[in-house]
Every structure is written in structure tokens, then in C-alpha cells.
Amino acid sequence: MVSPSREETDDLPDKDVAKDFYAKYEPKELLGRGVSSTVRRCVEKETGKDFAAKIIDISGDIDDSQGLSLRETTLREIQILKLVAGHPYIIELHDVFDSTTFIFLVFELCKNGELFDYLTNVVALSEKKTKGIMKQLLEAIEFIHSKNVVHRDLKPENILLDDDFNIKITDFGFAKVVKPQERQFELCGTPGYLAPELLKASMYENAVGYNKEVDIWACGVIMYTLLVGFPPFWHRKQMIMLRNIMEGKFEFCSPEWDDITELPKDLIRKMLVVDPLKRLTVSEALKHEFFQVVTTKGRIFDARKTFQLGMLCVRAIVRLKRLKYTPEPLSIEVARNYPYRIKTLRKVVDACAFRVYCHWVKRGEVQNRAALFENRPKIELKQIYTDAMNTITT
Ligand code: ADP
Ligand code: MG
């Protein structure tokens, strides 16, 4: 990690504007940019620990679609962050500094950045990795919903990865406290992740509005994208994309889906249901078969079968290890006609032959043992024999 260069520090507020922040933290390099904020790594001077500071410029404050100023929406974000604090998969707010022109939110640092960038690097995730991430995501959402909060901007850019690649949901800028039956009508979020009822709420006069189910729809879009690398609803013309969302028109036909099993597709189908009342709730999604403990692609874990398989593997390995010491099967036919072919017999034959003819093998020339089994007489020996015979006869 590096210190910020001169031009990179342009977004940083003057020291006198944010004295308290600078007294406690040393700002470092840029980590990300949002619509009205920049996020920088910063070091807590007292402890030397790294954090991420979200610096929100509220100087040119304008009201949003609800008439809320940026200061008000930031204060709402802080209030919600405190409400959902203490969950392992939700970002932890460490400190807050409020000045007339800037608000600083100091968060725990997620060194592995956005899930979005991670996915860009790896293109698509395996079913196993997707299962891990989706389980954490749904558990965090279950917690958020239990606090009567709806996030409304779930997407891979707002899901960060910590040192151990566990997720941390962040950016509660659009989050809102809602009563269970209270209907919402504001249009907020990111186009490709918007639920049909949220779009209808902002388009039609007689729309019934929306509630927490919009987060499950976004989870369906995220899960689809994680598995194949591209989103379920996309079209060059945004109007067509929005129409496809409202009709729930998406497919599993591209070749990328060929290797993906039925269970994750089933879960996606049940999260991307147009009618929010028929869509899975977060608890139902977590109980889906896809999240049962599995060993291999889509197979359900069975302790007895796994144990039996383990035993078979151990027995096979032991057999393979012993193979070296197990005698080769030997037929009488082979033993009688080709005894020298068999390793153990070969040793016996050699030993016998050596015992009979060892006096022919000179000391220190044991390698000449092979000569003992040569059928043809050696030329030099033959010559010695002939010379000897000649001497005898003359
Ligand atoms: P905005 O509301 O403006 O979208 P976010 O809270 O989403 O702001 O932050 C913008 C980006 O900054 C994130 O998408 C991410 O890349 C980076 N970021 C935010 N918080 C952290 C953090 N705690 N650790 C690392 N990077 C972060
Ligand atoms: Mg964001």
C-alpha cells in the first residue's frame, strides 16, 4: 500500500475543516469512489491500525427525491449502520466525524476490495464458492431484515471481501427502516438489480408499492451473475431491460449454464419471481436444498455412504501399497517352461547356478555372473581349450 500522490489528495478536505479527523487519522490512498463520496485507507495514529474512511462532501448539499439533504441521508446511513452493527458479514462503523462541509465515516478496512472486482478477475465462480458467498449474504440480509431494515442497493460493488474472503455488506446509503406491512414507493437502487414491484411502484399510479422482498430479488440477480459472470437482465436499451425485469424474463440457455447443476438454477428461479408474495423469503432461501452440506456437485451429504467410500479408498490404497510385496500369480506351465521370467524364481535359479559354477567366477568380477548362463562358449575360452588339447596330443 502506498501514500497518496499530490493530485490524488485533491478530494481531501482542508486540515482546519476536519481537525478532529486529522488529529486521529492519517489519510492514505484512494480505495473507491461513490456518487458523492470518496473512500480512502487511513491509519489510526494511536494504534497504527488500518481503516477505510468514507469522506462525504456535503458542501454543495442538494435535496434528494425525498427532499432529504445529503447530511440527512448520511445521518440516516449512520443510524442504520448502528442498528445493524455486530454481525460478522456486515461492515463495522468504527468512528464518525461531522463538520460543516464534510462527514467522515471510518469503517473497518476490507483489504480484498469489492466482490465486483474479484468476480471481474475470475470471470465466474464455482457452485461451491457461490454457495459460500450466497449463504453469508443471505445470513446478513436475514439479520438486516430482522431489524426491520431494507438495504435496497445490494450488488457486487457494495459487497466487500475481508482478509479471509468473507463478505461484508456495505453502503447503507439507500437503506431504510420499514415496518413489515408498510409500503414503499421511492425509486432507488441500481437499474440491473431493481425488483419488478419497485419499478412498478415508481411507474404506475395504482401500484401497491414494495417492501423487503426487493433485497431477495437483488440476491437472485447477484447469484446468477456470480455463477456465469454476466447478469440475468441486460439489454443495450435500458427500457427493454426494465421491461424484461418487470416480466421476469431471463434464461439459463447460454453455454455457460451447461455445466451448472439444477439446484442453484432452482434457487435463482425462486428468488427471481415477479410476484413478491410468491418469492422466497430470506429464511426460506437459506433452507433451500442448495445450501445443504454437500461434498461434490449437487450431491447431498450422506454420512454412511461417505464413510463406506472412505473405507473403500483406504482398502484400495493399502492393496496398492502391498502389491509390491505380493507374489505374481504363477501358472505351472510358465514355471516349467520359463522359470527365469519370474522374479523370485530367477533369484533361486541364479543362486543355484552360482552355487554350482561359482568357482568359475573370479573374485571381484561378480558382474560376470551373467556369463554363467551364456549358451555359447566364449571365444577366448574355446581358444584356451583348443590350445590345451593340442598340447596334450603333441
Ligand atoms: P457510495 O455510497 O458512494 O457508493 P460506498 O460505501 O459504496 O460509497 O463506497 C464506495 C467504494 O469504496 C466501495 O464500492 C469500495 O470499493 C470502497 N470501500 C468502501 N468501504 C470500504 C472498506 N471498508 N474497505 C475497503 N474499501 C471500501
Ligand atoms: Mg456503493
Q: What residue spans define the domains of the chain?
A: 1-109, 110-299, 328-393
What averages of pLDDT result for each successive group of 10 residues across the chain (394 residues)? 48 74 95 88 97 91 70 95 98 94 95 95 95 98 98 97 97 95 94 97 95 98 96 92 97 92 97 98 97 65 85 90 75 80 74 68 47 55 71 66
Query: Ligand 1 mean position to 32 CA, how many Å?
Result: 6
What is the pLDDT, as a whole number, of residue 101?
87
Distance CA 248, CA 262 (A): 19
First to last CA, the chain: 102
How far is it, in rounded angstroms, from Cα 219 to Cα 297?
Answer: 21
Answer for the pair 56, 127: CB distance below 8 angstroms, yes or no.
no
- What is the reported pLDDT for 163? 96
- 252: three-class secondary structure by DSSP: coil
Q: Which ligand is nearest to the CA of 115?
A: 1
The residue length of the chain stands at 394
- The C-alpha atoms of residue 271 and residue 273 are separated, in whole angstroms, by 6
Smallest CA separation from ligand 1 atom 9, residue: 34
Does 153 qualify as catalytic in the annotation? yes
The phi, psi pair for 91, rounded to 5°, reads -60, 140
Nearest to 52 by CA among 122, 114, 119: 114
pLDDT of residue 336: 82
Alpha-carbon distance of 281 to 46, in angstroms, equals 44
State how far the alpha carbon of 327 is from the alpha carbons of 263, 323, 324, 331, in Å: 49, 8, 8, 12
Confidence (pLDDT) at 240: 95
Measured from the Cβ of residue 285, the count of other Cβ atoms closer than 10 Å reads 24
Q: Which pLDDT value is given to residue 365?
A: 47
When the candidates are 3.30.70.100, 1.10.510.10, 3.40.50.720, 3.40.50.1820, the CATH number that belongs to 110-299 is 1.10.510.10
* pLDDT score recorded for residue 6: 40
Find the 34 Cα to ligand 2 centroid distance in Å.
6
Binding-site residue ranges? 54
Q: Retrieve residue 267's grid coordinates.
A: 434457487
Residue pair 295/306 in contact by the 8 Å Cβ criterion: yes
The residue nearest atom 6 of ligand 1, judged by CA position, is 171
Residue nearest atom 15 in ligand 1 by C-alpha distance: 32
Q: Using CA atoms, how far apart are residues 129 and 135, in angstroms rounded to an integer?
A: 10
Catalytic: which of 14, 16, 98, 153? Answer: 153
Q: In what order do the strands lie in the sheet with 25-33?
A: 25-33, 37-44, 50-57, 102-108, 93-98
- Residue to mutate (ligand 1; options 40, 51, 54; most atoms within 8 A of CB): 54
In CATH, 1-109 is 3.30.200.20: yes
C-alpha cell at 271: 428468488
- Looking up cell 463495522 gives 92
Asked if residue 32 has its Cβ within 6 Å of ligand 1, the reply is: yes
